[in-house]
Amino acid sequence: MKLVIIGGGFGGLRLARKLNNKPGFDITLIDQFNYHQFQPLFYQVATAGLDASNISFPLRKVFQKSKNLRFRMAEVRQILTAEKKIITDIGEFEFDALVIATGAGTNFFGNQQLMDNAFPMKSTVEALQLRHRLLHNFEDALSVTDAAALQRLMNIVVVGGGPTGVELSGAIADMKRFVLPKDYPELDFTKMKIYLLEGSGKTLAAMSEKSSKDSLCYLEKLGVTVMTNTILKGYDGTTAILQNGEKIDTAMLIWAAGIRGNVPEGISKDLIAKGNRIKVDRHCRVNGFNDIFAIGDVAHMEEPAWPNGHPQVAPVAMQMADTLATNLRRIEMKSSTDLLEEFVYNDKGSMATVGRNLAVVDIPKPKLHFSGFFAWMTWMGLHLMLILGVKNRFFVFSNWLYNYFTYDQNLRLIFREFYKERKK
């Protein structure tokens, strides 16, 4: 079977590893980057807690001993479903079976002003850009004499009260408490304001009521101004305008309020569900096709327990990959399609960290919630296990240990050329 997998994220990489060196498969893995990105820790790269290389792993290194898999760094331009062919910027690839695992990107909901001025955080590069801008604002603040301009540079607005927004707000608040006053003694950080805007009535709305309340309590304890039931209308680079007419002057607005599936060209609009996700059946097959599959954030599957589709999180992508790997092996062996497994998501729980010694954890079976230091340790332990590569785990653990005892980190670097390129 000539199998093409588009995307080296949690789902695509898991599937490729499951079928690696399995007889009967000739696999091509395509991704626009030559590395796997550990997205849950992007916020730590953005706040100078970890180096970008600590959460990235070369895809070619994963498959150095593979006999049936080739990796190609390319950008997919179109899928020709009838011709069983993929068009990329480096050429064409034919397939017997295709797996779309392209994940999701930032959803600005069509607001061009936000696209031009807000900072997203859906890739390692974007996390680095955010870090550079964050630090450069404080450098600029040292030479500003106008009080309004200074306050604008000291204000940070995070939009979106989900795990990404909560974790990022907490990490910036920790920087404000432990790091920035030592780096910039000339600045008065009591005037620094961190705003978290959330359109619904609570933070971490997808988690339990206890987790929502605990996260709100922790954020307020850290000095974050949480504004629920608040919708951002626009941002021109200097002023955030809320739907109720209020304004917040800020030189940095971070957008963590929505994601949309990265659907390649060539997929019919009739197959696209809410959130720009591809409709698939319980076997991860794209509706109407026997040889095209979609998994992870880009896939919209309905099952009795999840009638509106699954949450767009890594465990869903990895579990879909496991089911699809089993089914592809059965298809390759020409087994009856009646023997194919239906996907059933096993929700093992959810968690989010808010700051130093502060996190929340929900476990559905048995129904359990805990928070605080033990939840924080649980969060760190699980994420450490999921990071790819022994060396990366070692460096992440070493950085966390160093940071915990010194209340500091040595990664607050501004690369001027990189920053100038982003400003353009």
What is the C-alpha separation between 250 and 99, in angstroms, rounded? 42
Dihedral angle sign, alpha carbons of residues 372, 376, 378, 382: positive
Nearest by Cα to 181 from 141, 209, 230: 141
In degrees and rounded to multiples of 5, residue 306 shows phi and psi of -135, 70
Q: What is the pLDDT of residue 419?
A: 52
The two counts, helices (H) then strands (E), for the chain are 13, 25
Ranges of beta strands (E only) in 181-304 are: 193-197, 224-227, 232-235, 239-242, 247-249, 252-255, 259-261, 272-273, 277-279, 292-294, 299-300
Amino acid at 242: L
Q: What is the pLDDT of residue 413?
A: 85
pLDDT digit string (tens) for 132-166?
A: 999 999 999 999 999 999 999 999 999 999 999 99
**Domain range list for the chain:** 2-32+74-106+259-339, 112-257+357-423
pLDDT digit string (tens) for 205-227?
A: 999 999 999 999 999 999 999 99
Strand-pair partners of 286: 280
CATH superfamily for domain 2-32+74-106+259-339:
FAD/NAD(P)-binding domain (3.50.50.60)
Ranges of beta strands (E only) in 299-387 are: 299-300, 350-355, 358-363, 368-371
- Per-residue pLDDT band for 366 (boundaries 50, 70, 90) equals confident
Cβ distance 332 to 26 under 8 Å? no
**Long-range residue pairs from 118-122, CB within 8 A, at least 24 positions apart, any chain:** 118/159, 118/235, 118/253, 118/254, 118/255, 119/252, 119/253, 119/254, 119/255, 120/254, 120/255, 120/256, 121/42, 121/43, 121/46, 121/164, 121/168, 121/254, 121/255, 121/256, 122/39, 122/42, 122/259
Nearest by Cα to 396 from 51, 61, 122, 46: 51
What is the C-alpha separation between 202 and 379, in angstroms, rounded? 21
Strand-pair partners of 285: 293
Q: Would you state the structure tokens that stand for residue 277, as one six-digit string?
A: 């996700």
Which CATH number does the domain 112-257+357-423 belong to among 3.30.230.10, 3.40.50.720, 1.10.10.350, 3.50.50.100? 3.50.50.100
- Per-residue pLDDT band for 410 (boundaries 50, 70, 90) equals confident
Mean pLDDT on 332-354: 87
Residue recorded with tokens 């779309």: 100
pTM over 0.85: yes
What is the C-alpha separation between 155 and 225, in angstroms, rounded? 11
What is the C-alpha separation between 141 and 149, in angstroms, rounded? 8
**Topology agreement, domain 2-32+74-106+259-339 and domain 112-257+357-423:** yes
319 CB-near residues (< 8 Å, 6+ apart):
343, 345, 346
- Per-residue pLDDT band for 424 (boundaries 50, 70, 90) equals very low
In degrees and rounded to multiples of 5, residue 287 shows phi and psi of -55, 125
Nearest by Cα to 55 from 6, 101, 20, 10: 10
- Per-residue pLDDT band for 415 (boundaries 50, 70, 90) equals confident
Dihedral angle sign, alpha carbons of residues 162, 168, 169, 174: positive
DSSP, collapsed to helix, strand or coil, labels residue 106 as strand
Mean of the per-residue pLDDT values of the chain = 93
Amino acid at 206: A
- Per-residue pLDDT band for 416 (boundaries 50, 70, 90) equals low
